[in-house]
Structure 1
Amino acid sequence: MPTAEAMLQSDFATMPDLIRAHAAERPDKTAIVSPGRVIDFRTLDARMDRVAAALQRDSVPRKSAVAILAAPSIDYAVVFLGAVRAGCAATPIAPSATPEQIAAMVADSGSPLLFVDAANAAAIAGAGITAEQIRLDNSDGGRALSDWLAPEGAAPSPVTIAPQDPFNIIYSSGTTGTPKGIVQPHAMRWAHIARNAAAGFGNAVTMIATPLYSNTTLVSFLPTLAWGGTVVLMPKFDAHQYLELAEQHRATHTMLVPVQYARIMALPDFDRFDLTSFRLKTSTSAPFAPALKADIVARWPGLLVEYYGMTEGGGTCILNCTANPTKLHTVGQPVEGHDIRLIDDDGNEVPQGQTGEVVGRSPAMMSGYHGRKDATDAATWRDAHGNLFIRHGDIGRFDEDGFLQLMDRKKDMIISGGFNIYPSDLEAVLREHEGVIDCSVIGVPSERWGETPVGFYVGNGDADPDAILDWFNGKVGKTQRLAALEPIDELPRSAIGKVLKRELRDRWLEKHA
């Protein structure tokens, strides 16, 4: 087998082969740390073999899904990577979904097995899941992982993996119906690994505080292991504990979503922690306030880099926040080799400086939605030469320097009286009020205007909603004025920090029916 270095410098390598190479070359190097447990590359490689051999023993076909439903743990990572070694598609399922959605996702994937921990097994009891359940944490009530695994020393039959073979399936975070399964091939994961050649992951200690079912996590988790670094897994995010672990392990890299950064930076004792070991902090998945970026750059050592992209792939933008203090309102410029364009409602490209829907093309693109050709076709756009692009669903514009500024999700744009209103513009103004900690603006039906904007906010102190509303409406144009503003204890968010505007809309409609 080639060395890990040779593979990382090649045109294509697989994650299982890279783990094998690191196990041979640096067997005692720590691969993953989680509370009370550490696993080195030798042990990780051997456990992956036992998972792959057990899947082959059970006649689980190559390219088929292997579903996992659990909190992040070393065993979760072992099953995920072992499934990939067997030529299967690791399929992490979000525990935050309803039991009915989870059952539908497992059925849609076709996975014959479901690796699940005790808490999630209890949550889905009675949901009608027919896949055999393997208890990832060896808890009572199902077949224990330790009993299911192939014996120690077992080796699977070698599997040849092609670039377009499925690596994993990630289900989109839909709030209604069954989320779509995004099939990500090995070529896409390799592109994520290869693009991090200069990121220093080989000697990294990477803090992981987001769920393993999220692409947000995997674009940091997988490159760290692929380059031979160490991952520190947090089963559940806590801002104070995060800083304690980062200081303890001398963390060098991390991927956090904006709401996590906000909670960390708001801690009164943030500045007492020694974070000088950090070299690279990254963020993605949700809007990142310019003021928060600036605060992190000022007070947290190491580079801060924002990624803008999709789980489906397409084009990616990168913003080096540390090097571009005047561009913090943007998501950066397209990565080299990535083609990002803007189109209008008729599918025509728009001139530089005008707004349009973001579409992107790159080496890192999904194979399609699992079993959903119609949805795959709807998510794509072709240019005049027939090149395939993926629709990002965002509205944006490029400035004179080629930096992309996002306006909003296309589906969230409010059309009121014929005018396009971008909720992000209104939210930026609302956050300027000293009584507002967090906020979100949605469109609701209006007999007079078709749609009209209303706001929800998390308050700071005893600020009067009517007074904040009057202040806000005095600062914006007539077409942007809020019809109403409601206080809320906490905005509903997904596990990776996205505001669930559908839940806010449902709350409004139920209250004002």
Structure 2
Amino acid sequence: MIPNWLLKRAALTPNAPALSFQGRTWSYLHLKEEAMERAGKLRSLGLDPGSRIALLGGTSAEMVLLIHGCLLAGIEMVMLNSRLTSEEIEYQLKDSQSEWLVYEEAFREKASQHVCQCIVYEELLQLERVPVQLEQMWEEDRTLTIMYTSGTTGFPKGVRQTAENHTSSALSAVLNSGLHDGDAWLHMMPLFHISGFSILARAVLYGSEIRLFEKFDAAVAAEEITAGRVSGMSVVAVTLERLLTVIEKDKLPVHPKFRTLLAGGGPVPVSYLKRAEQCGLPVLQTYGMTETSSQTATLSAEDALRKPGSAGKPLFFTDIQIDGVKEPFEKGEILIRGPHVTKGYIGKHTSTQTLQNGWLHSGDIGYFDDEGFLFVSDRRSDLIISGGENIYPAEIEAVLVEHPQVVEAGVCAMESDEWGAVPAAFVVTRSAVEEESLREFCQTRLASYKVPKAFHVVDELPRNASNKLLRKTLRESLTLRK
């Protein structure tokens, strides 16, 4: 059994700051009271414990209150990606069999569908509040959230995440990073994504504060960090680079209170890590996925500088192995098991086996070094096989961003009659750069078969709402360029 998070936290530290947004701060007691009001209004829609609804909105305090209201009321939440099309949203509503869709006014057009009942959030707040019988304890297998895979590698699947999944993930994270009085997390991630939701879960379990912003803003993030208002923040490689650029440009000092810059969503180029070290930003690379309720391996602070590029070691309740590999540095698919791993999928993928012989097959390629540190090479589906050689796009991208004129880089497979496939590169540049300059730069740092055979300068790279690079979209754009 697991305590109902917010009820327990509000009882333990009612006056501690829980949430800050646009100049207003909620204590844990006030957060519980406002979440209780939302829970009562959800009951007025006929939603009982175990009912399933979908949420469509941005990153705001109101959405946090609604999420906590659902948790208090025992309602399962389907977290919809607000960047999806109406058709994609309708598919997920149908597949999840959601009873209601609650959406914010800004997403009214996308919410137009005929699969389930829907109500705009502002109208929900006008409903009569119905008394809610609160559960003090949750069964470990209770479903709290359902998140659909990003679709970067195939058809989205609805991932069921339980009270045990989220709780064990949060406990593993704190056993790695520690907890200090006055901790506050800078939250600029989408709430519907596992990285965004996990920040909410960790905060209420730890009793720490969330400083919430609608979206990532490098200048605001730098100001929060240097002013000493936050102790941690989650980023991906592209947002890390933008934050570094601001701090370097303005020569901003990092406040001693700030001790964790959690970097996920794929490998971080070593050049970024070196820049971060010079700025005094403690980058802890992490590895996780929707199916593992966020982190499953994280680099500890003491190893961050001597193991650049590593995702660290498996967290406390986690076991990781490389499929079919017996020796260090041999690459293979990453397999994961532990209490944070999903119990299964829903909808059309209900029959899909989550585990094989007790292990989740991640679809990611990686290896352990001789000290047991995990290195994630790439997605198996992004692997480029060229003339029998395995090429990992992330390795090429890491080289390209070291070029003084390259801001971002994306690499994907391009068909080749001679080799089957060869790498093609897409770059965002600071100023005009010759293709030959990029090619020569790569030739001095990469084996010849890894050097991109085509370079495309673009205004921006395709990314999902979590700023993860969409290599599938890059491959599709190659077809259009023919």
Q: Given the superposition, is the C-alpha separation of residues 474 and 44 from structure 1 closer, same or farther in structure 2, using an over 3 Å criterion?
A: closer
Given that residues 170 and 213 in structure 1 are in contact (C-alpha distance below 8 angstroms), is that contact kept between their aligned partners in structure 2? Answer: yes
Residue in structure 2 matched with residue 133 of structure 1 by the alignment: 118
More divergent stretch after superposition (51-60 vs 447-456)? 51-60
Residue in structure 2 matched with residue 292 of structure 1 by the alignment: 272
Deviation at 1:32, TM superposition (A): 1.0
Please give the per-residue CA displacement for 1:443-496, whole angstroms capped at 9, x wherever unaligned. 022222221211111123221113322443465334223221111111111222
- For the pair 1:444 / 2:414, whether they are aligned, the reply is yes
Residue in structure 1 matched with residue 59 of structure 2 by the alignment: 72
Deviation at 1:419, TM superposition (A): 1.9
Residue among 417, 420, 423 paired with 2:390: 420
Alignment of 1:298-317 (within 5 A): 298-300=278-280, 303-313=282-292, 316-317=296-297
Q: Given the superposition, is the C-alpha separation of residues 499 and 362 from structure 1 closer, same or farther in structure 2, using an over 3 Å criterion?
A: same
Please give the per-residue CA displacement for 1:216-255, whole angstroms capped at 9, x wherever unaligned. 1222221112221111110111111223344567212222
Question: Partner of 1:103: helix, strand, or coil?
Answer: helix
Question: Partner of 2:2: helix, strand, or coil?
Answer: coil
Please give the alpha-carbon distance, in whole angstroms, between the structure 1 residues aligned to 2:407 and 2:344.
Answer: 39
Q: Given the superposition, is the C-alpha separation of residues 175 and 407 from structure 1 closer, same or farther in structure 2, using an over 3 Å criterion?
A: closer
Deviation at 1:202, TM superposition (A): 5.8
Given that residues 106 and 129 in structure 1 are in contact (C-alpha distance below 8 angstroms), is that contact kept between their aligned partners in structure 2? Answer: no
Given that residues 267 and 309 in structure 2 are in contact (C-alpha distance below 8 angstroms), is that contact kept between their aligned partners in structure 1? Answer: no
Residue among 83, 88, 94 paired with 1:107: 94
Please give the alpha-carbon distance, in whole angstroms, between the structure 1 residues aligned to 2:11 and 2:49.
Answer: 26
Please give the alpha-carbon distance, in whole angstroms, between the structure 2 residues aligned to 1:145 and 1:111.
Answer: 17
Please give the alpha-carbon distance, in whole angstroms, between the structure 2 residues aligned to 1:221 and 1:85.
Answer: 14
Percent of aligned positions that are identical:
25
Please give the per-residue CA displacement for 1:10-53, whole angstroms capped at 9, x wherever unaligned. xx533xx3322332343333211111433222222122223333
- For the pair 1:150 / 2:129, whether they are aligned, the reply is yes
In structure 2, the gaps of 5 or more residues are none
Please give the per-residue CA displacement for 1:315-345, whole angstroms capped at 9, x wherever unaligned. 82221255342211221112234221111xx
Instruction: Give the letter for the 1:244 counterpart.
Output: E
Please give the alpha-carbon distance, in whole angstroms, between the structure 2 residues aligned to 1:371 and 1:480.
Answer: 40
Deviation at 1:55, TM superposition (A): 3.2
Residue in structure 2 matched with residue 371 of structure 1 by the alignment: 347
Given that residues 181 and 370 in structure 1 are in contact (C-alpha distance below 8 angstroms), is that contact kept between their aligned partners in structure 2? Answer: yes
Please give the alpha-carbon distance, in whole angstroms, between the structure 1 residues aligned to 2:52 and 2:367.
Answer: 38
Residue in structure 1 matched with residue 16 of structure 2 by the alignment: 29
Residue among 285, 299, 306 paired with 1:326: 306
Residue in structure 2 matched with residue 211 of structure 1 by the alignment: 190
In structure 1, the gaps of 5 or more residues are 1-11, 139-143, 383-387
Please give the alpha-carbon distance, in whole angstroms, between the structure 2 residues aligned to 1:416 and 1:334.
Answer: 32
Q: Given the superposition, is the C-alpha separation of residues 107 and 492 from structure 1 closer, same or farther in structure 2, using an over 3 Å criterion?
A: same
More divergent stretch after superposition (503-512 vs 250-259)? 250-259
Residue in structure 1 matched with residue 334 of structure 2 by the alignment: 358
Given that residues 64 and 88 in structure 1 are in contact (C-alpha distance below 8 angstroms), is that contact kept between their aligned partners in structure 2? Answer: yes
Deviation at 1:307, TM superposition (A): 1.7
Please give the alpha-carbon distance, in whole angstroms, between the structure 2 residues aligned to 1:29 and 1:321.
Answer: 27
Instruction: Give the letter for the 2:193 counterpart.
Output: S
Residue in structure 2 matched with residue 7 of structure 1 by the alignment: none
Residue in structure 1 matched with residue 212 of structure 2 by the alignment: 233
Please give the alpha-carbon distance, in whole angstroms, between the structure 1 residues aligned to 2:332 and 2:26.
Answer: 47
Please give the alpha-carbon distance, in whole angstroms, between the structure 2 residues aligned to 1:350 and 1:59.
Answer: 55
Greater RCO, 1 or 2 (C-alpha within 8 Å, sep 6+):
2
Residue among 391, 395, 408 paired with 2:378: 408
Residue in structure 2 matched with residue 84 of structure 1 by the alignment: 71
Residue in structure 1 matched with residue 369 of structure 2 by the alignment: 399
Please give the per-residue CA displacement for 1:93-113, whole angstroms capped at 9, x wherever unaligned. 111111110111122222222
Please give the alpha-carbon distance, in whole angstroms, between the structure 2 residues aligned to 1:168 and 1:82.
Answer: 13
More divergent stretch after superposition (244-253 vs 420-429)? 244-253
Residue in structure 2 matched with residue 483 of structure 1 by the alignment: 453
Given that residues 202 and 227 in structure 1 are in contact (C-alpha distance below 8 angstroms), is that contact kept between their aligned partners in structure 2? Answer: no
More divergent stretch after superposition (233-242 vs 478-487)? 478-487
Please give the alpha-carbon distance, in whole angstroms, between the structure 2 residues aligned to 1:233 and 1:215.
Answer: 16
Please give the alpha-carbon distance, in whole angstroms, between the structure 1 residues aligned to 2:345 and 2:238.
Answer: 28
Question: Partner of 2:291: helix, strand, or coil?
Answer: coil
Given that residues 428 and 457 in structure 2 are in contact (C-alpha distance below 8 angstroms), is that contact kept between their aligned partners in structure 1? Answer: yes
Deviation at 1:274, TM superposition (A): 5.7
Given that residues 204 and 224 in structure 1 are in contact (C-alpha distance below 8 angstroms), is that contact kept between their aligned partners in structure 2? Answer: no
Residue in structure 1 matched with residue 438 of structure 2 by the alignment: 468
Given that residues 6 and 68 in structure 2 are in contact (C-alpha distance below 8 angstroms), is that contact kept between their aligned partners in structure 1? Answer: no
Given that residues 7 and 136 in structure 2 are in contact (C-alpha distance below 8 angstroms), is that contact kept between their aligned partners in structure 1? Answer: no
Q: CA RMSD for the aligned pairs?
A: 2.5
Given that residues 2 and 139 in structure 2 are in contact (C-alpha distance below 8 angstroms), is that contact kept between their aligned partners in structure 1? Answer: no
